[in-house]
Chains A and B, each alone.
Chain A
Amino acid sequence: MHIVELKNVCKTYPAFRLQNVSFGLEGGKITGFIGRNGAGKTTTIKSMLNLIHTDSGEISFFGLSLFGHEGEIKQRLGYSTGTVSWYPRKTIREIADVTRSFYPTWDEEAYRKYLTLFALDESKKPIELSEGMKVKFNLLLALSHRAEILILDEPTSGLDPFSRDELLELFKTLKDHGVTILFSTHIISDLERCADNIVYISGGEIRASCSMADFLQKCGRPGESLEEIFLRLEKEARA
């Protein structure tokens, strides 16, 4: 039983089409969502968050359809995107104060813990943060309300190697606490470090959705690294 399920999700833009996207997320596992720029990762994630209006398909979380249970589902979700700056001229403290009033499950202890871990100063404004620190600020909000599922759109982009390492370790710790994580990335070494499962998207279509071991077995050739597999698959898809 998947904790998150997408079935035949379609979305057409003038120059791009998301075609029958179907995959599921296993509870308590880390799933890496990989694809090149423009492959459809962000469109898929936006569909999962009801930020875009899909043409057709079904999306469910915890066995509940997203449509009709949006507020209830989002209570149990955490989302973070790369470097988007929310309220650039408000302080972190002000943004967190307002955000916490939406979550009965807000965990002040976790908020303080991640604030220290990410070395964020509450009196700073997003406009004063570096790109990497903006990612950490977004993650701070996503991690502070005991989310059962974390959907992270390129959370490691813009981070220095030390912060990336800390973050990937944090993903593993969260997984040990039963949190389900979907993170999109185009950094293949991030997947090798912590992903249990892989969802691979190319040209708006899901090419693979399976465990890392199955993916290596089914798609890989002897002696190929994960990076080499993806590069070959992309070249084949474009040929």
Chain B
Amino acid sequence: MTALLKKEMRLSASILSYLFLAFALMTLLPGYPILCGVFFITLGIFQSFQSAREANDIVYSALLPVAKRDVVKGKFLFSAFIELTGFLMMAALTLVRMTLLADSPLYRGNALMNANPFFLGTALLIFGLFNLIFVGGFFKTAYKFARPFVTYIAACFLCIGAAEALHHFPGLEALNAFGFEHPALQLALLLGGAAAYILLTFCAYRMACARFEKIDL
């Protein structure tokens, strides 16, 4: 497992996957749809898939002394590594906004989504969608990624739009909690996002393994 991740990080990954983690800082932007930071992090992962394809990485990996499904595992490990690093950065910045900056007028007057556990749960849901739609879809051919990525973009922005809109509906204001307001609801939404991430990623991995087993390299 370590060797697989090391291979992904040292040979297959594009530098942009690491640089685009800086988009986690968008969590601090007031008056901006902060979930877009999640999209940019996944865009960085997409760059690694592109550079891996150019380097014949999939065939090289399949020739290493690993089972074919381990090639898929390597890609999922790398994607999850970047996603969870991005998530931890966003979580740390969310905590800053929930504590030190909870009463900042800059954020209090923000018409858009707040940085809170609901935001983090939605971020995890979008990462899960990326794994399911893009990574899982890529392994249908192991070289075509335009259709899965465009499909993912549509799903991602629908999700961002829905998350941004929900708290404007009557009765759903608690979704946009400041500081530690509505702790039970907010925690439940975060845990729901985490459960969705695990479930979507697991389904994507199983589906990708089955697809990759059938394709000819």
Contacts and interface: CB of A to CB of B under 8 A. Distances in A.
Interface string B3-14: 100110011000
Contacts of A70: 66-68
Given A53-B213, A87-B60, A101-B7, 9 more contacts: A70-B67, A74-B63, A74-B65, A87-B11, A88-B55, A94-B10, A98-B6, A101-B6, A102-B3
A95 interface: yes
Interface of A: 46, 49-53, 70-72, 74-75, 77, 79, 84-90, 94-95, 97-99, 101-103
Closest 10 CB pairs of A and B: A74-B65, A52-B216, A75-B65, A51-B217, A87-B55, A101-B3, A86-B60, A70-B67, A98-B7, A102-B64
Given A84-B56, A86-B56, A98-B11, A53 B65 contact: no
B215 interface: yes
Given A71-B67, A74-B64, A84-B56, A97 B10 contact: yes
A104 to B, nearest CB: 9
Interface in B189-215: 213-215
Contacts of A75: 65
A97 B66 CA distance: 17
Interface residues of B, number: 25
B59 interface: yes
A126 to B, nearest CB: 9
Contacts of A49: 62-63
Interface in B1-41: 2-3, 6-7, 10-11
SS class of chain B's interface: helix, strand, loop or mixed?
Answer: helix
Nearest to B10: A98
A225 to B, nearest CB: 36
5 contacts: A51-B62, A51-B216, A71-B70, A74-B64, A95-B11
Nearest to A51: B217
Nearest to B2: A101
Contact of B66 (A71, A84, A90, A95): A71
A89 B51 CA distance: 10
Contact of A50 (B3, B10, B54, B62): B62
A194 B60 CA distance: 28
A88 B11 CA distance: 10
A89 B68 contact: no
B72 to A, nearest CB: 13
A99 B7 CA distance: 8
B93 to A, nearest CB: 33
B70 to A, nearest CB: 7
B181 to A, nearest CB: 49
